[in-house]
Amino acid sequence: MAATGSEKQGTKAFYVTTPIYYVNDAPHLGHAYTTVAGDVLTRWHRQRGEKVWYLTGTDEHGQKIMRTAEANDVTPQAWCDKLVEEAWKPLWEHLNIANDDFIRTTQKRHTDRVQEFVQDLYDKDEIYKGGYEGPYCVGCEEFKLPGDLVEAEDGTKLCPVHKRPVEILKEENYFFKLSAYGPKLLEFYEANPGFIQPESARNEVVNFVKQGLDDLSISRSTFDWGIPVPWDEKHVIYVWIDALLNYATAVGYNENPAKFEETFPADVHLIGKDILRFHAVIWPAMLMAQGLPVPGRVAANGWLMVGGEKMSKSNLTGIKPQDLTSHFGVDAYRWYFLRAIAFGQDGSFSWEDFTARYTSELANDYGNLASRVAAMVGKYFGGELPASTADGDAEKAVQDGLAAAVATADRKIGEELDFQAGILAIFDFVKQVNGYITEQEPWKVAKDDSEEGRARLATILYTAAESLRAVAVLLNPIMPETSQALWDSLGAEASLGTLASQPVQDAATWGQLPAGATVTKGAVLFPRLEEPKKD
């Protein structure tokens, strides 16, 4: 997405990242949930007029990728290339994700810089050689603490995330002196209470670090699909060290100092809660060891649940986003998960809930409002927006409601990452405008052909259309396609410019849509749903 002309050059970008996703399979709703959240957040900040950088990508090394490729009788690189080009990138394009970069951990711009970073730590005596034996989950690519494991009915020890048996590995590895950074991390958490969100995630990390940290194995020697350790090529760099560094390598670490300085560190790392410790413990410790600034915030979203199970391919609850967009549309998809689930908490998905919310809030409340207003301006004023003549108490209440909605949405979405509350504030305003039209009954006022009657009708319809102008601006980061359709219907571009250039924080400034704008009734924003096809 192109930057707006109001961006301030030379200032640090608002830098947001998703996790880089494993390419052992095609993306599912859980991956898309985090990526859409990041897209909405960065679009919101762009529409504030800020400089923004949004990064996503794929994690392509490690034992899990190697085994998946072998099972499909291809090389790991060929497997990664196929999945990235045929599944991951096309999905982000389909979902209208406006990322600025897509990093792949097999790219030379990444692998060279990872080797340099690790070599620097080794030269600083932050890394030493040792041995390790313990339970390892290939799905997580992580050594597990015995206390983290769950026990099956037959006594087998299972990974708590994947519910699969762990493997006992014994290797000669290189270790990062993570244990030395426990006190520094606790001091940092205390000084920066908003670093980890939500509060439950922060408490988990603080308690974990207080128990004492073990040094971290940062290499593997029993397989070769990874970045070679520069001083000992019999080892490859542990996939999580490799993966975390994407947030630095993608923005110019050791390669483009100007880009790095104006972008790094990330203001927000959006992650799933199952990778919280990597981002809130290991990553800041690595940066501290290297003398680099730590991120502004690590925000952990919950799991999407289907039938009480975390959504993933391994437990057969994975659902393709296209299964839903083909029925509800892309904009409704982008809206639904952030509207239905409080970010940071687990949430259950059901087809029935999506259908009910779509029908009630999108089709009936929002879409019907847009259609009614355009139809009435067309019927009573020939499609030319009339001027408001005298705002009364009812109009002032609408204006006050809009101001409150803008303030709440800007704070909740732009600052607090409470997407649900921000969206609800916007849709509460939509309900208020619907109520205003119901109370004012413009279809009855239209029967009064007097000058006072025509003036009153003009005020009602201008108030409704101007409210929709603001709604289009506020919903543009969330539902860009339908917001553009509404913007076009209101004839706003001719006088106000592009929708993307409208500052969200100024959306409540009343009277922006000029009288005389050509209002047209376009296609229905949210059509009635057809019955889904049954297999």
Please tell me the distance from the alpha carbon of residue 63 to that of residue 70, in angstroms, as a whole number: 10
The catalytic position among 51, 110, 269, 310 is: 310
User: From the candidates 137, 269, 279, 327, which is the catalytic residue?
Assistant: 137
- From CA 298, how far away is CA 28, in angstroms rounded? 22
CB neighbour list of residue 497: distance below 8 Å, 6 or more residues apart: none
Selecting among 170, 234, 313, 444, the annotated active-site residue is: 313
Separation between Cα atoms, residue 64 and residue 243, nearest integer Å: 14
Nearest to 17 by CA among 339, 331, 200, 265: 265
Question: Which position among 61, 140, 269, 279 bears the catalytic label?
Answer: 140
- Is 310 one of the catalytic residues? yes
Catalytic residue among 159, 269, 279, 412: 159
Task: Please say if 28 is a catalytic residue.
Answer: yes
Is 297 within 8 Å of 195 (Cβ atoms)? yes
Distance CA 284, CA 323 (A): 38
User: Is position 80 annotated as part of the catalytic site?
Assistant: no
What's the CA gap between 103 and 337, in Å, rounded? 25
Q: Which of the following is catalytic: 89, 162, 259, 379?
A: 162
Task: Return the SS3 of 527.
Answer: coil
Whether 140 sits among the annotated catalytic residues: the reply is yes
Query: How many other C-beta atoms can be found within 10 angstroms of the C-beta atom of residue 120?
Result: 15
318 touches 299 (CB < 8 A):
no
**20 to 102, 316, 417, 468: CA distances (angstroms):** 9, 22, 20, 37
The single residue of 28, 110, 327, 412 carrying the catalytic annotation is 28
Contacts of 342 (CB under 8 A, 6+ apart): 418, 420
Q: Which residues are catalytic?
A: 28, 31, 137, 140, 159, 162, 310, 313
